[in-house]
C-alpha cells in the first residue's frame, strides 16, 4: 500500500513538474493557463489520492478526497474566470503566425 501511494505521489509530482515547466515555457497567457491550471489538476489529484491511500481508509482520507473534489470544482472556475477576463480585456491569443503582435495580460 505504501509503495503504491509513493508511486502515485511521484507520478503526481511529475505532472506538477511538467505543468510548472509549461508555465515557464509557454509563450502567452492562454497557453500558460493550460499548463498551469490543468497539469496541476491531475498532479494534485494524484498526490491527494496517494496520500489518502497512505493514510488508509478513514475519515481523514474522505476529507482528503473532499479536498480533491473542491479543487476540481474551483480550479476550472478560477481558470475560466481569468480566461474570460483576459478575453474581455482584449488580449488576443498567441498563435504561431504572428509572434510579434501579441499583447500580454
Partner 1 sequence: MISRYESIIITTLCKLLIPVIQLYGLYVIMHGHSSPGGGFQGGVILGASFILLVISHGLDEVKKRMSEKLNTIFCSFGLLIYAGLGVLALIFGGNYLDYGHLPIPVTIAEARYLGILGIEIGVGITVMAVMISIFLDISSVGEQE
Partner 2 sequence: MREFFLVASMIIGLLVLLTFYRAISGPGLLNRILGVNVIGTKTVIILLLMGFIYGRVDMFVDISMVYAMLNFIATLAAAKYLERKVSI
Partner 3 sequence: MSFLITFIHLYVFWILLSGHFDIFHLSLGVICCALVAYGTHDLVLEGLPIDMHTEVIRFIKYLPWLVYQIILANIHVAYLALSPKMPIEPRIIKIKTKLKRDLALVTFANSITLTPGTITVDIKEGVYDVHALSEKVSEDLLSGEMENRVAHIFMED
63 binds partner 2 (CB under 8 A): yes
Q: Which is nearer to partner 2, 38 or 97 (CB)?
A: 38
51's grid cell? 496520500
Question: What's the CA gap between 41 and 1, in Å, rounded?
Answer: 23
CB atoms within 10 A of CB 103: 12
**Running DSSP on this structure, what letter comes out for residue 58?**
S
16 burial class (0-12, 13-18, 19+ CB within 10 angstroms)?
middle
73's grid cell? 470544482
63 binds partner 1 (CB under 8 A): no
Least distance CB 37 / partner 2 (angstroms): 7
64 binds partner 2 (CB under 8 A): yes
93 binds partner 3 (CB under 8 A): yes
79 binds partner 3 (CB under 8 A): yes
Interface with partner 3 (CB under 8 A), residue total: 39
80 binds partner 1 (CB under 8 A): yes
Report CA 30 to chain centroid distance, whole Å.
Answer: 13
**Residue whose C-alpha is closest to residue 91's, from 79, 103, 78:** 103
- Binding residues for partner 2, rule: CB under 8 A, are 2, 6, 9, 13, 16-17, 19-21, 23-24, 29, 32-33, 36-37, 40, 44, 47-48, 51, 54-55, 60, 63-64, 66-67, 70-71, 74-75, 77-79, 81-82, 84-86, 88-91, 104-105
Amino acid at each position: 500500500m505504501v509503495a503504491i501511494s509513493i508511486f502515485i505521489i511521484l507520478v503526481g509530482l511529475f505532472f506538477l513538474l511538467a505543468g510548472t515547466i509549461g508555465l515557464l515555457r509557454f509563450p502567452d497567457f492562454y497557453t500558460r493557463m493550460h499548463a498551469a491550471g490543468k497539469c496541476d489538476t491531475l498532479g494534485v489529484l494524484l498526490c491527494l489520492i496517494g496520500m489518502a491511500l497512505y493514510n488508509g481508509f478513514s475519515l481523514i482520507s474522505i476529507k482528503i478526497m473532499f479536498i480533491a473534489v473542491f479543487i476540481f470544482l474551483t480550479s476550472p472556475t478560477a481558470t475560466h474566470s481569468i480566461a474570460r477576463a483576459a478575453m474581455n480585456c482584449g488580449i488576443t491569443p498567441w498563435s504561431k503566425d504572428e509572434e510579434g503582435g501579441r499583447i500580454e495580460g
